Structure 1
C-alpha cells in the first residue's frame, strides 16, 4: 500500500513549517498509533494561529501514499499530497462561512432545499472513499452555524460514517453548542510564540525586516492573520495618525479621545472586533512612549520622523523622561482595563484625560 519515500528531507517538512503546535502533533501521532483516532475533533484557539492549516496537514498525512498513517508524515510530492494542498482531493470536504455572510449556510451541510439530504457535507462524508482509506471533513467558522445547521450536523456526529474524521474549527469552546461540543474531542491551540510568529511574518513577506516583524509580532496576539491585517495600509495609517496626535507639543485630551473614538467608529465591526481594535490603538500608544524612552521597537520611518524631534527637544530633560514613563504606565493600565472588559469609550476617555494631566505635570503618579 505504501511505497518507500526516497527523499529523507521530505519526511519532516510537513510539520517543520507549522510553528508552535508540536504538542498537538504528537497527540495525534500517539492516537493514530494506538488506533484511537476519534471521529470528530473540535480545534479551539484564536483566529489566525494555524488551526485550519493543522487540520489540512493531518489530512495530508492520513492520505499520503508514501507514509503509513501512524507515521503522521507526508511526502508532499505524491498525487494525494498535492491534491490536499490544492484542496481538490475527492475524499476531503472543506466548508467555511462565505465572505459577506454572517452564518454558515445550512445548504453547505445538508444540501439545497430541493436536494436536501442528497448533497452537502453530511451526505458526502457518508459516501465510500474514492481514493483514500477514509473521508475527512473540515468545517471552518463552525461557531457561525445556526441552530438548524448545528442540529443537522449533530445527527452525523451521533452516527459518524465508518472511518470518517471531522475537524470543527472555532475560536472559543463556548462559541459552539454544548451538544456539538460534547461529541467532539477538544484540542486546544495557544497563540503562536513571539519568535515563531516573527519568523512566519518574515517568511510570508508581511514585514520588510526582522525589526518590523518583531514589532508586528508584539502587537498581534500570536496571530499571523492579525499581523497581516495590522500591516495593511489602513492600519499603518491609523498607527501614524495616533503617533502624530501623541507627538503634538501640548496633548489635547479631548481631541485625542475624539480621534480614538472616531477611529473606532470608522473601523466598525462587532463588539469583539471593536475591543480588539481598541486594544491595538492603546498598544500603538504604548509603543510610542517606549520609543520616546529610547526602546527600539522597530517603528516605521514615518513614526521615527515624528518621535525624533520630540526626543531632541527634551534632550537631557529628566522631567520629560519621568512623564513619558508615567504615560507609558498609564497606557499599560488602559490595556489591562480593556482586557478586563472595561467599557471602551470610558477607558479611552479616561486614558486621554490622564495623559493630558501627566503632560501638564498635574499628575505625577498613576
Structure 2
C-alpha cells in the first residue's frame, strides 16, 4: 500500500527533478550530431531491434555532444508524430517542445546545483523526512503521465559520491520496463565500478579534423546566439585546431580559448613552465593577472582557471612526447603533469582559487604531485 500511495505524489516530486534548462546546442535531427556516425548507427539498430538498454552511460569530453544526444534521444522516444524506429523526431509537436525546455511530465532530470560540490542525496532519494517518496529514483518508477514511457537523465554523474551512487544501483540494475535512464559523465574512470557495470556505456570522442572544427564552430555559434552583444572574430582552421589541441578535446574549454584568444596567456605560461625550476612567484602573478583580466565573478574565474590548467597540461604532454621521441624520460615532468591534472578535481571541489594557485605554483617548483591524501 505504501508503494501505491507514493506513486500518487508525482506533482511534489517533480519540483526537484524537472524544468531544468540545458545549455547545449539544439539538434534538429540526428544528422546534426557531428562526428558520431557509428554511435548513431548503433542506437538506431538497438531501437529498431528492441534492444535499447534501460540504463545508459554517456561518457566523453565536455562539449562533444553527449547532452545534445541525450535530449535528442528523449525527443525520439517521446515524439507524438514519429515513432522511435524512424529516428526522426519532428521537433515541433508539444512533446518535442516540452522535452527541449525541460517541462515534459515524463522527462526527469537531475543535475548538480551550482552551489554544491556533489549531487545532493535528496535529489536522488528525497529529503530525510520523505526518503524514497520523492527524488530521481522515485520518479523513475512512476507510471508515464503523457507518453508511453519515461526518460530520466542524470547530468553531472562525475559528481556522485559513493552514497549517492549506491542509491542508484538497484534502479540502474532493474529499471522499469517503460523507462530509460541516461547518466552523463566525462569519463568511465570517474564513475564507480558498480555504476559502470549496470549501464550500457556509449563513448563519445572528440571528432578529428574538419568534423572537430565544425563542432567547435557550432559551439561558438551557440554562444553567439545567446550573447548577441558580443562580436566573435572569424576563426581560421589553424586557430580552431590550436584551441582544440590546447583543450585536450574539451569543446567547452576550446570555445572559451577561441573566444578569448588564448595565444597571449599560452605563450606567457609556457615560457614560465619551460624553466628547469619554474618561478612560483612569477606563475602566481601571471595566473592571477589573467583571472583578473577575465572577471571578478567566481564562476567565470573558475572557468578561466580550467583553461589555464588545460594549457599547462598540453605543455607537459608535449614535453613528455618530445622526450620519448629522443629516448629520454624526466620524472619531474611527469610529476608536474600529474599535479596539473589534479587541479581540475580541486576546482570541481570548489577549492579557494587563491590558495589553489599558490599551492600549484609551489608544487611545480618542487616537482611534487600535490598528493596530500584526502585533501588533494
Give the TM-score band, short-chain normalised. 0.5 to 0.7
Q: Partners of 1:147 and 1:252 in 2: how far apart?
A: 41
1:112 matched to 2:139 = no
Q: Corresponding residue for 1:165?
A: 180
Q: Partners of 1:213 and 1:174 in 2: how far apart?
A: 28
Q: Corresponding residue for 1:213?
A: 240
1:150 matched to 2:165 = yes
Q: Corresponding residue for 2:68?
A: 53
CA contact (8 A) 1:197 1:223 kept: no
Q: Partners of 1:148 and 1:112 in 2: how far apart?
A: 14
Q: CA deviation at 1:233?
A: 4.4
1:65 matched to 2:65 = no
Question: Secondary structure of 1:210's match?
Answer: coil
Q: Partners of 1:280 and 1:94 in 2: how far apart?
A: 34
Q: Partners of 1:180 and 1:254 in 2: how far apart?
A: 42
CA contact (8 A) 1:194 1:217 kept: no
Aligned residues: 290
Against the structure 1 CA distance between its residues 62 and 108, is the aligned structure 2 distance closer, same or farther, given a 3 Å change threshold?
Answer: same
RMSD: 3.9
TM-score (norm 2): 0.65
Select the residue among 235, 255, 272 that pairs with 1:228. Answer: 255
Against the structure 1 CA distance between its residues 158 and 276, is the aligned structure 2 distance closer, same or farther, given a 3 Å change threshold?
Answer: same
CA contact (8 A) 2:34 2:214 kept: no
Q: CA deviation at 1:166?
A: 0.6
CA contact (8 A) 2:269 2:312 kept: no
TM-score (norm 1): 0.67
* Larger mean Cα displacement after TM superposition, 187-196 or 50-59: 187-196
Against the structure 1 CA distance between its residues 210 and 220, is the aligned structure 2 distance closer, same or farther, given a 3 Å change threshold?
Answer: same
CA contact (8 A) 1:260 1:281 kept: no
Q: Partners of 1:252 and 1:220 in 2: how far apart?
A: 22
Q: Aligned runs of 1:337-356 on 2, under 5 Å?
A: 341=337
Q: Partners of 1:199 and 1:132 in 2: how far apart?
A: 35
Q: Partners of 2:35 and 2:214 in 1: how far apart?
A: 11
Against the structure 1 CA distance between its residues 130 and 236, is the aligned structure 2 distance closer, same or farther, given a 3 Å change threshold?
Answer: farther
Q: Partners of 2:248 and 2:280 in 1: how far apart?
A: 24
1:182 matched to 2:197 = yes
CA contact (8 A) 2:316 2:337 kept: no
Against the structure 1 CA distance between its residues 172 and 265, is the aligned structure 2 distance closer, same or farther, given a 3 Å change threshold?
Answer: farther
Q: Corresponding residue for 2:33?
A: 18
Unmatched 5+ residue regions in structure 2? 1-26, 224-231, 292-300, 341-360, 368-376
Which has more radius of gyration?
1
Question: Secondary structure of 2:118's match?
Answer: coil
CA contact (8 A) 2:316 2:334 kept: no
Q: Corresponding residue for 2:17?
A: none
